[in-house]
Structure 1
Amino acid sequence: MTDKPLDVLAIGNAIVDVIADADDAFLVAQGLDKGAMRLVDEVEAVALYGKMGPGRESSGGSAGNTVAGLAALGLSAGFIGQVADDELGKIFAHDLRATGVEFGTPTRNDVGASARCLILVTPDAQRTMNTFLGAAQRLPASAISAAHVATARILYLEGYLWDPEEPRAAMEAAIDAARAAGTKVAFSLSDAFCISRHRDGFNRLIDDGRIDILFANEDEILSLTGAADFDSAVAAVAPKVLVLAVTRGAAGAVAVSGQERAEVAAEPIAKLVDTTGAGDLFAAGFLAGQARGKSLEVSLRLGAIAAAEVIQHYGARPEADLRALAGELL
């Protein structure tokens, strides 16, 4: 593999998470769909925050969590995402840089407030996310440097950021730069909500051969394809990408590349606390394996290890030593 200073460069929503415990009755009272993600405006975000219990603040965002996981695994990672010149923006930038991730996107004072995600965790560890995108949805194409993209082995994009028009143009510019530079493009479908809004656009990216590594969970791959069962959905998508990686929760994960198929079981855990970030950290482990030229099975195992760590505590970024947990796999 070519020698590039960054293993992974990610583009995503720059968000600070506010996590609080809640019961099912609270979700029903607020009209929330358990386990789903929805977008809210600033007024609704403020109103919901006022009704939540005590919160724990931690920097998040799907791709931000992934690069934090990559850094914890000892890989070199960078992040591009928009924050405002406000307190939450400063918190996000500090937290990400403190993990060792390169983050140099200039702050802006003309984009409203920095993004936040209000996450309600029920006793069964399911998370219901209410996201105010704020400044995150104002990432301009001018924030993308073709030379910067060319420094990475893999460009990683989160589907959540595909929704607003401005960052979508930035991501498309980054994909163009990656294709020209020989940088692999990895893309996460992120959520069934994103697929319902952008199924045609996502399928066009895949059909046009602009995605090398595609991440999905079981529900997302079924939603994307409209297939009747999991195996049919995988068979429909796998030939169109270099690598397809699909998580199945407690049932483990599957990856397909050409004629090769690998499966791993979920890693055993002591206690399930909060599923926030499970997919993000799975992507971190899997990308770590791919960036280091590891097999599909080893990449899956790294993903499973990283995901298992993050679901045993609150917050979507690792707390334990992921490099120690990965051991000889990396």
Structure 2
Amino acid sequence: MADSGVLLGMGNPLLDISAVVDDDFLNKYDIKLNDAILAEEKHLTMYDEMSSKYTVEFIAGGATQNSIRVAQWMLQIPGATSFIGCIGKDKFGEEMKKSSNFAGVNVQYYEDEAAPTGTCAVCIVGGERSLVANLSAANCYKSDHLKKPENWALVEKAKYFYIAGFFLPVSPESVQFVAEHAAANNKVFITNLSAPYLCEFFKDVQDKFMPYTDFVFGNETEAKTFSRVHGWETDDVEEIALKISQWPKASGTHKRITVITQGADPVVVAEDGKLGKFPVVLLPKEKLVDTNGAGDAFVGGFLSQLVQEKSIEECVRAGSYASNVIIQRCGCTFPETPDFK
């Protein structure tokens, strides 16, 4: 059994606002189907319009928060997980709290007075979707919030920390505090390469925190980008996974483990100079609904077993199971209880 508060995530919370819209709406905001973009000035009124004009579903999103929600769902122990991030003081922030608390996650949001809650519009027409993300308040997290006694208590209580790469440019100071705490107290610090642009444009920030990491997740595209920017001159995912796992460490308590997913191909795990390959659960094409959040779900499933000190093989199996469930549904959502055995 996992303890209360055993896993703490920090990241960029975004409220997914999902609705079936029409072509007129897409044209009005110059949105193309099967696309994912960051919101520009012309998109800023669409979020309120969606929620007033269409039947919308509000789902707490953002990469790290998705993984934490999935881990919480797999664990089925109220309060086993906690999450810290920044939202606005507005109705979308209230929806985010409601959604996260309903999932059983102990959320401690910093509420920014000036910026609205970060949102991601999920516009659906004819079963196809387009994503328009507006980070807004998610970009405003301050380490002063983390230092508050009631929030730092969550850090002290947790034994495992998950902070995806997306949070590194937002509050590197907060990440540093948690990373140093984990290294000094023999706890487990976990990150994710998260996106090729982070490997390219935030290389120095990423490299600074790499020595503190005990687990590094990523997909094959991110791994290849990481290799290229570090001049490793290899596209071999297994070789890259090994090189990341052998990066110098700040603490010798845990050996670093690298976990690279490759879609339908086996998951590559590098640990202690050795490689493991684990097949994923393949899904018939007709059952595939939405791959959005599949990687987040894999990490969440993996972490749900890791915090229970299960074997790496079992962690990967749980990750594949969770990912399989999520891609059969719209958004990063799941049934009431898992049937993972």
The alignment's TM-score, normalised by the length of structure 2, stands at 0.81
1:101-180 correspondence to structure 2 within 5 Å: 101-108=105-112, 110-119=113-122, 129-145=131-147, 146-164=152-170, 167-180=171-184
Counterpart contact for 1:185–1:212, Cα < 8 Å: yes
Distance (Å, rounded) in 1 between the aligned partners of 2:246 and 2:20: 42
The 1:41/1:182 distance shift into structure 2, 3 A limit, reads: farther
Counterpart contact for 1:116–1:132, Cα < 8 Å: yes
Superposed displacement of residue 225, structure 1: 1.2
Distance (Å, rounded) in 2 between the aligned partners of 1:9 and 1:117: 23
Does structure 1 residue 243 correspond to structure 2 residue 250?
no
CA RMSD of superposed structures (Å) = 3.1
Distance (Å, rounded) in 2 between the aligned partners of 1:57 and 1:157: 23
The 1:45/1:249 distance shift into structure 2, 3 A limit, reads: farther
Distance (Å, rounded) in 1 between the aligned partners of 2:139 and 2:183: 24
Q: How many residues were matched structurally?
A: 315
Distance (Å, rounded) in 2 between the aligned partners of 1:81 and 1:66: 14
Superposed displacement of residue 298, structure 1: 0.9
1:183-194 correspondence to structure 2 within 5 Å: 183-194=187-198
Counterpart amino acid of 2:256? Answer: L
Counterpart contact for 1:68–1:317, Cα < 8 Å: no
Question: 5+ residue gaps in structure 2?
Answer: 229-233, 248-254
Distance (Å, rounded) in 1 between the aligned partners of 2:192 and 2:90: 29
Superposed displacement of residue 304, structure 1: 0.2
Counterpart contact for 1:14–1:64, Cα < 8 Å: yes
Superposed displacement of residue 34, structure 1: 5.5
Superposed displacement of residue 141, structure 1: 0.1
- Which residue pairs with 1:234 in the alignment? 241
- Which residue pairs with 1:312 in the alignment? 328
Superposed displacement of residue 308, structure 1: 0.4
The 1:56/1:148 distance shift into structure 2, 3 A limit, reads: closer
The 1:16/1:258 distance shift into structure 2, 3 A limit, reads: same
- Which residue pairs with 2:251 in the alignment? none
Cα deviation code 1:142-178 (max 9, x no counterpart): 12144421211111102122233xx232222222222
The 1:302/1:168 distance shift into structure 2, 3 A limit, reads: same
The alignment's TM-score, normalised by the length of structure 1, stands at 0.84
Bigger radius of gyration: 2
Provide the secondary structure at the position in 2 that maps to 1:117.
strand
Distance (Å, rounded) in 2 between the aligned partners of 1:254 and 1:122: 36
Does structure 1 residue 204 correspond to structure 2 residue 208?
yes
Provide the secondary structure at the position in 2 that maps to 1:105.
strand
- Which residue pairs with 1:84 in the alignment? 88
Counterpart contact for 2:299–2:319, Cα < 8 Å: yes
Provide the secondary structure at the position in 1 that maps to 2:276.
strand
Provide the secondary structure at the position in 2 that maps to 1:267.
coil
- Which residue pairs with 1:256 in the alignment? 270
Question: 5+ residue gaps in structure 1?
Answer: none
The 1:48/1:288 distance shift into structure 2, 3 A limit, reads: closer
The 1:272/1:252 distance shift into structure 2, 3 A limit, reads: farther
Counterpart amino acid of 2:240? Answer: A
Provide the secondary structure at the position in 2 that maps to 1:82.
strand
Superposed displacement of residue 190, structure 1: 1.5
Does structure 1 residue 269 correspond to structure 2 residue 269?
no
